[in-house]
Amino acid sequence: MADAVVFKTLPDVRKYIEHAAAELDRQSRYVPELLRVLDAARDIPDFERLMNDGCRGQRHAGADVFAKMSLREKVLANLITPETTLFRFTEGELEALDREIVPRLQGRKARLLIVPCSLGDEAFTAAAFLLKRGIDFEIHAFDIQPALIESARSGRLSFGFPLEYLDPPGKVAPALLQKIRFEVGNAFALPLQEGVKPFDVVLCRNFIGYFTPEKAQRLVERLASRVAPGGALFLDSFCLDKFPELHKPLTARRAVRVGHRPVYLFPQHLEQP
Ligand SMILES: C[S@@+](CC[C@H](N)C(=O)[O-])C[C@H]1O[C@@H](n2cnc3c(N)ncnc32)[C@H](O)[C@@H]1O
């Protein structure tokens, strides 16, 4: 996909970073870190070379995936990193899945929404989990970075391992990949068709905590509107501890938190808040 944003000078990049940072947590250390790299650069090619030589986004995407990103995408990968890994769930979270969510999915094809999905490991984890429990499923997974989606579609498992040091095997079989639709999409404006059926489980993990409280709340409201009656929203403890106000739009929908787990169960009959 062609990238419409072209930077001509280092001040253009700085302006872009500052604009993006306005929506991010003011405490984020990723912003000043990236600005320090920018300050050290002589010009745009030098800035890109410094990032390619090693930066947070490059480490988490893997050098080969990072190389496919435009300069703007590389900048974004340093502000909101593609960090992901298989089975990135605590024991308590897996227990909540087994006790509270699995019984709700029995006997039908479960529909899952995963956003953002980075290199796909979270979707592959969910698929492995459901396969082991004998639950049929379809997964819709979105990320804003085309290079990450391209990698996810290939079925390559990253294990959180530097991809350039990972030899095959470690690829999800095509028959299983057919059950997972990886698409480029912005979490705040998902490219889902009008009237698309709601999802039994919506996962949004290790993402919301990056933003300002206002932006986080708006996103949770949107995600909650995608949850089917009797479905579940799976967040992460980091964002819920950081933004206790996220509880509000969920309780307004009569969703109930599972103990201290970052999981909300929605009632069978949903009311509009
Ligand atoms: C830390 S990863 C989380 C991946 C996965 N949920 C997990 O927990 O392993 C954050 C991801 O958010 C993606 N991202 C950043 N801004 C986005 C947006 N507006 N919409 C969708 N994805 C976005 C990044 O490309 C990155 O892959």
In angstroms, the CA 166 to CA 70 distance is 24
Closest CA to 100 of 200, 167, 193, 21: 200
Q: For the segment 198-224, what is each residue's pLDDT rounded down to a tens digit? A: 999 999 999 999 999 999 999 999 999
* Cα gap 266→73, rounded to integer Å: 35
Nearest ligand 1 atom to the CA of 121 is 9
pLDDT digits (tens, 9 = 90+) for 21-62: 999 998 889 999 999 999 999 999 999 999 999 899 999 999
Write out pLDDT tens, residues 98-151. 999 999 999 889 999 999 999 999 999 999 999 999 999 999 999 999 999 999
- Ligand 1: list residues with CB < 6 Å: 80-84, 88, 116, 118, 122, 142-145, 148, 186-188, 205-207
Convert 125-146 to b/e letters by CB count within 10 Å (16 or more is b).
bbbebbeeeebebebbbbbbbe
pLDDT at residue 21 in the model: 95
CA angle 239, 242, 248 (to 5 degrees): 80
Q: What percent of the chain has pLDDT over 70?
A: 97
95: left (phi over 0), alpha (psi -120 to 50) or beta: alpha
Compute CA 234 distance to the chain's CA centroid, rounded to the nearest angstrom.
Answer: 12
Q: Are 1 and 184 in contact (CB under 8 A)?
A: yes
Give the pLDDT score at 273.
58
Separation of 78 CA from ligand 1 center, angstroms? Answer: 11
Atom of ligand 1 nearest to the CA of 186: 20
The Cα 99–Cα 111 span in angstroms is 18
**DSSP state, 209?**
G
> Identity (one letter) of the amino acid at 31?
V
Question: Who wins on pLDDT, 57 or 159?
Answer: 57
Q: Are the C-beta atoms of residues 178 and 170 closer than 8 Å to each other?
A: no
CA angle 6, 7, 11 (to 5 degrees): 155
Per-residue pLDDT, 271:
61
Q: What is the mean pLDDT of the chain?
A: 93
Architecture of the domain defined by 91-265: 3-Layer(aba) Sandwich (3.40)
Q: To test ligand 1's pocket by mutation, which of 144, 234, 236 has the most ligand atoms within 8 angstroms of CB? A: 144
Query: 8 C-alpha to center of ligand 1: Å?
Result: 27
Domain boundaries, the chain: 10-79, 91-265
How many angstroms is it from 144 CA to the middle of ligand 1? Answer: 7
CA 96 and chain centroid, separation: 20
Backbone angles phi, psi at 165, to 5 degrees: -110, 20
Task: Give the position of tokens 């999409």.
Answer: 185
User: Closest Cα partner for 116 from 211, 38, 32?
Assistant: 211
Distances (CA, A) of 115 to 23, 97, 100, 188, 253: 18, 18, 21, 10, 21
Listed residue (256, 231, 119) closest to 223, CA to CA = 231
Atom 14 in ligand 1: residue holding the nearest Cα:
144
- Which mutation among 23, 66, 80 tests ligand 1's pocket best, with the greatest number of atoms within 8 A of CB? 80
In the numeric block, the tokens 């340093």 are attached to 78
Atom of ligand 1 nearest to the CA of 88: 9
Cα of 118 to ligand 1 centre, how many Å?
5
pLDDT at 4 over 90: no
Rg of the Cα trace of the chain? 19
Chain position carrying tokens 């890994």: 85
